Structure 1
Amino acid sequence: MEKIISIKDVTYTYPESKQPAINNLSLDIYRNEWVSIVGRNGSGKSTLAKLIDGLIESESGTIFVDGQEVNEENIWNIRSKIGIVFQNPDHQFVGATVEDDVAFGLENQGVPRDEMVKEVDDALKMVDMQDYKTRDPQSLSGGQKQRVAIAGVLATKPSIIIMDESTSMLDPNGRKTVLDLVKQLRDQQDMTIISITHDIEETELSERIVVLRSGEVVKEADPKAIYDMGSELTKYGLEEPFSSQVASLLKDGIKLPEGYLNEEELIENIWKLSSKM
């Protein structure tokens, strides 16, 4: 597999801190991979995103994005390949209308107006928000705002999307809608997704989970292997998946298969066992 991001021995300490936020961290992310980076608050997740995008500069080590080193010389070219969807979409809104807001990144890139209008319409169609393009972004629901924020990122055609706690302010339905949308978009076009979250339930769509603690990678594996850690996840500040908690409560009464079961698999197994009783 081809690496799209390569992080080698990177350390970063905030000016007011004695402890590094990122401590001699190395990590490779592959083209078109969906990676979830998880850990408790303060584990270094968002700091890592800022380092990848060149918003802050590491004190040691190197970061390469799509073959280019993140440095002053390459920074604008690298940023054109990365789109970030933040936790609070209100912090990303700069336009008076939805279409103005989606056009903002394209204006910064100097895209001609005729082309810009088409790109904005295409991006809004991708997230099913084309009927809202003349609306004030502040009049939208939380889930709709996040869709517009994603459209603004998609319009610039990045090869990497970083979702920095971007569903944490949404209700469960809104969260599922946004994650399903990102999955659908990724299925349609080449795109590397980096999902930064403290919610283990949000990682099910990813191919690999990277667990951070105190700025270091302490575990990386496919989702099932991480979920199989069960209650051990709490030592990394993560909750055990809900279905695993339910399975633990039921295990004395009924015999379930070993290892992690998602909610659908758990319901199916309980149904099969109850139908045999």
Structure 2
Amino acid sequence: MQVFSTISAVRAARPRIGTLGFVPTMGFLHDGHLSLVRRAVTECDNVAVSIFVNPTQFCPGEDFSRYPRNMEHDLALLREAGVTFVFTPEPAEMYPPRFATSIDVGAVAHPLEGAVRPGHFSGVATIVCKLFNIVQPARAYFGQKDAQQCAVIRQLVADLNLPIEIVTGEIIRNSEGLALSSRNSYLSEADRTRATVLHAALQAARTQVEAGERNVDVLKTVIRDILTREPDFLVDYISIADPDSLHELSRIEHKSLASLAVRVGPTRLLDNVILQPVL
């Protein structure tokens, strides 16, 4: 496995490597990331991974400086997984002096995380586009846990005619149902256990849909009632929307995305499930 820290090094090596699958990450890897890497290794002749904590997708006051990092451990995991090369640039490599360009993917980036974290998805879209141009993958792998991010990347690829297949991997959870996230490291043991209520609330909505419920207001009430079992949790939003446009729905007629963001103490957690009505 090769490790490159500069764009010029990737470009020098890239012609010798051939067709690539690509997993962009911010590091501090867990089984969610590794499930994407393993899938890419199975489906692609070669696999690249990036490790880059992207400053432009963090809003003022967020956790950029303390975001968990462990490069040595990450590289050991990727070497064991059979990755071809890892790209580990510093911020100055990706954003040199006088850098001024950003990408706005439009309406899909405005609600939910976009409303709570203004500018976040412009930072995501810009860095992902840069990474795609540098690495030049045929396929890129993203996790369903960040469902809106996946929608943003699909929009980016479609609008800019990028010749890349976007593959979405399922959410990986711990034994109690908590979606794996690098930010879970911020949780106390007690909060980690209590945070499983997020998945329980979403699962309750899914069960209601499978039993025939179609009214979104009813489903949101089911979710909120379960979340309020932990009265000190702060709910940022509960959404039931089209999974591609993220337009909010009033009824479940087709496959829909139920998602939420909840502050568990100082830690903000995301989770989602797909609601599929039985027709």
**TM-score, with length taken from structure 2:** 0.31
Q: Which has the larger radius of gyration?
A: 1
Larger RCO: Structure 1 or Structure 2 (Cα < 8 Å, ≥ 6 residues apart)?
1
TM-score normalised by structure 1 residue count: 0.31
